[in-house]
Amino acid sequence: RRSMVYDIERGKAQGILPQPWQTDTCIGSWHYDANIFKYHYYKSAASVVRMLADIVSKNGNLMLSVPLQRDGQPDADEIKIVSEIGAWLKVNGDAIYATRPWKIYGEGPSTATAEKGQFDGQTDVSRKPFTPEDIRFTQSKNGKLLFAVVLEIPKDGKVTVKSLAANSEYWSGKMSRVRLVGGGKLAFTRDAGGLHVKLPEQCDGKTAFALEIQ
């Protein structure tokens, strides 16, 4: 596998792989299907974002296909989906671009189950809904920043990262700062139960968000 890039079609790796790999999947069908547009069957931007965070946390890249109509143009649903993915990355891109996998890829209920993919590994989009406990980790290239991508917005405005508890084997030192990526510093406490972070009142309620931890 060192001589080529391992590719999982419409799937994801089970965990962190030592060599870079990729997922190739599509927001709909590989070739343009008018019925997918007619009945709005495309993958949502939120599902793609969560899939992307999971893939990157495992040392992978996402190659996403957007099939075009016969005149070479995307349809209205595709434009909306791609625009929403781009808007999320514009805010949270620091947690995705040029990052590296951390010591573990994530935590939460979604890490305890493995939905079989169509060809290999896990399915690209999870069939079970994510919870605010489902978190994916990445780190900056220089290893100085840890990012925690929370895959579902908590209704109470509070996040607990259990892997970063005061007695964590993954983070033994002190923490000096927690910041909302694309936002400002956040109030936090840390005890044996985890890192507890309070979110600002105005928080995007549609898609995942990322925390930057130092």
Helix (H) or strand (E) holding 181: none
pLDDT, tens digit, 9 for 90 and up, residues 50-74:
999 999 999 999 999 999 999 999 9
Q: How confident is the model at residue 201 (pLDDT cuts 50, 70, 90)?
A: confident
Cβ pair 61, 13 in contact under 8 A:
no
| Position with higher pLDDT, 80 vs 173 | 80
Q: For 160-184, what is the mean pLDDT?
A: 95
Which of 41-45, 127-131, 170-174, 198-202 is the least confident region? 198-202
**φ and ψ at residue 45, rounded to 5 degrees:** -60, -40
Position 93 scores a pLDDT of 97
pTM: 0.95
Position 205 scores a pLDDT of 61
What distance in Å separates the CA atoms of residue 5 and residue 23, rounded to the nearest whole number? 10
Position 146 scores a pLDDT of 98
Q: For 37-50, what is the mean pLDDT?
A: 97
Q: Which of 91, 87, 68, 70 is nearest to 78 (CA)?
A: 68
Residue type, 92: N
Among 45-54, 120-129, 194-203, top mean pLDDT goes to 45-54
What distance in Å separates the CA atoms of residue 142 and residue 158, rounded to the nearest whole number? 29
Position 114 scores a pLDDT of 77
Position 204 scores a pLDDT of 58
Q: How confident is the model at residue 2 (pLDDT cuts 50, 70, 90)?
A: confident
